[in-house]
Amino acid sequence: MGKSFKQPLFFAASTKSCIITVIFGTHYRKELHHQGAPELTTKKYKTGKIRERNSEQILQAAEQEFVLNGYKGTSMQSIADRAQLPKANIHYYFKNKSNLYIAVLENITTAWNEVLEDMTEDMDPAVVLSSFIDAKVRLSYTNPNGSKIFAMEIIQGAPHLREHISGELRQWVKEKTHVIQSWIDQGKMRPVDPMHLIFLIWSSTQHYADFDTQVLEIMNCREYEEQEVQRISRFLKDMILTGCGLEVPAEEVPEVAEAHTTEV
């Protein structure tokens, strides 16, 4: 059995006035307004920034090592070397390799699914699903390594994720399928299988990260350009939303794009 995601897995510097969480090397700051919250002292602020920077550096290095060498082939020393930090620092923040690996996986799943966190039965399914597809395609472009690490974990039987999948993730899917079924019952969209719709969006968007070598080689490209990322997103939204009996939101109606030509 793998370790539960309920344990502290990634660094978050918090105070009464703000919370800063490290996800994929990007800082997401959420202001929390509390009356009478004291101002941060200069000393605490500097200490927090150092911890935040080190934690981010470790997570980025770990992600690169795990995608290149897999879980078994990666050591805390190799992560420390890539992060250019003492090995003791890695253990200080994450205790052991398992905790660090789960932290990377947790950040991946959190970033993927946060778009749907606040979805409700009163929302427009076309807008919600369109935003979800956009976010997933964008993450496949900006962080393909995260998707590949997750794919490798699943292919190996999810030794570190099994408890999370059968617990938190299963409950998450159950909640989202309930909302989608409500949209169907209200006549907002075609009667499709809600769970398989989520599976379809997951798989179709992550394909462009997990199989980027194959996709780029066939398209005769070195890497995804911004224009191509937008084209992929428009294509998937058009296909998936149409299958659900929905229209792509007016400002996002897909344009007819020229087909790629490759030399054979």
What CATH number corresponds to the domain at position 203?
1.10.357.10
Question: What is the domain count for the chain?
Answer: 2
Pair 124, 248 in one domain: yes
Same-domain status, 97 and 126: no
User: Can you give the pLDDT at residue 61?
Assistant: 94
- Please check whether residues 136 and 223 belong to one and the same domain: yes
Domain C-terminal end among 101, 128, 158:
101
The answer on 55 and 94 residing in a single domain is yes
pLDDT band at 181 (very low <50, low <70, confident <90, very high): very high
Residues 150 and 34 in one domain: no
Q: Alpha carbon of 51 to those of 22, 40, 158: distances in Å?
A: 11, 16, 30
pLDDT digits (tens, 9 = 90+) for 26-64: 333 333 333 343 343 334 435 577 778 888 899 999 999
- Apex CA 236: angle with CA 232 and CA 237, to 5°? 115
Q: Which of 43, 47, 49, 40 is nearest to 20 (CA)?
A: 49
Domain assignment present for 262: no
* pLDDT value at 258 more than 80: no
Look at residue 109 in the predicted model and tell me its pLDDT: 84
Give yes or no: residues 21 and 138 share one domain: no
Q: What pLDDT, on the 0 to 100 scale, is given for residue 49?
A: 78
The pTM is what? 0.72
Per-residue pLDDT, 114? 85
Residue 169 domain-assigned (yes or no): yes
Reference 130, options 239, 24, 258, 207; nearest CA is 239
Q: Are residues 50 and 137 in the same domain?
A: no
Between 209 and 117, the more confident residue is 209
User: By the 8 A CB rule, do 20 and 27 touch?
Assistant: yes
- What is the extent of the structural domain holding 24? 12-101
Identify the band that residue 90 occupies on the pLDDT scale cut at 50, 70 and 90: very high
Task: Give residue 72's pLDDT.
Answer: 92
Q: Say whether both 182 and 211 belong to one domain.
A: yes
Instruction: Specify whether 177 is located in the same domain as 124.
Output: yes
Whether residues 145 and 218 share a domain: the answer is yes
Predicted pLDDT of residue 261: 42
Tell me the pLDDT tens digit for each residue of 189-203: 999 999 999 999 999
Give me the amino acid identity at 40.
L
